[in-house]
Amino acid sequence: MKIRIKGNSVRFRLTKTEVKTLCEKGIAREKTAFNESNFVYAVKVSDKYDNLHASFLNLGIILFIPKKILSGWHLNDQVGFYHSQTLDDGEQLQLILEKDFVCMDEGIGDQSDNYPNPKMDNN
């Protein structure tokens, strides 16, 4: 799982295994260790919200997604989900949850569990 944060935008990208785990078990999580604490980020199924919803809890980011929206994602070609969450102060937080595609540049880490990039030439 990868996250990209810029300003009020948070993008989560999940590998094939993580998408399947999320759909079947209701949660996919990852952590980054620091000396002081771990930074945890996760995507979790929850019917508390009607759309994507992010929270910053216990030094980590949790992205919630309703089960009705997520249903069958690991079996279809839908790339992702997109939502603008209105924060308590009126600001907008852009939320993106996507399948992680193989990068078109060679040699960028292990991409064996990523989805095939539809923009790559299959010849």
The CATH number covering residue 41 comes to 3.30.1360
Number of domains into which the chain is organized? 1
pLDDT in the model for residue 54: 98
Question: Residue ranges of the chain with pLDDT lower than 50?
Answer: 123
pLDDT in the model for residue 112: 64
pLDDT in the model for residue 123: 45
Is 117 inside any structural domain? no
pLDDT in the model for residue 100: 86
Is 10 inside any structural domain? yes
Q: If you average pLDDT over every residue of the chain, what do you get?
A: 89
For 6, 52, 58, 76, the CA distances from 16, given in Å and listed in that order, are: 24, 20, 27, 12
Report whether 98 contacts 13 (CB < 8 A).
yes
> Any long-range contacts for 65-71 (C-beta under 8 Å, 24+ apart)?
65/22, 65/97, 67/26, 70/22, 70/23, 70/45, 71/23
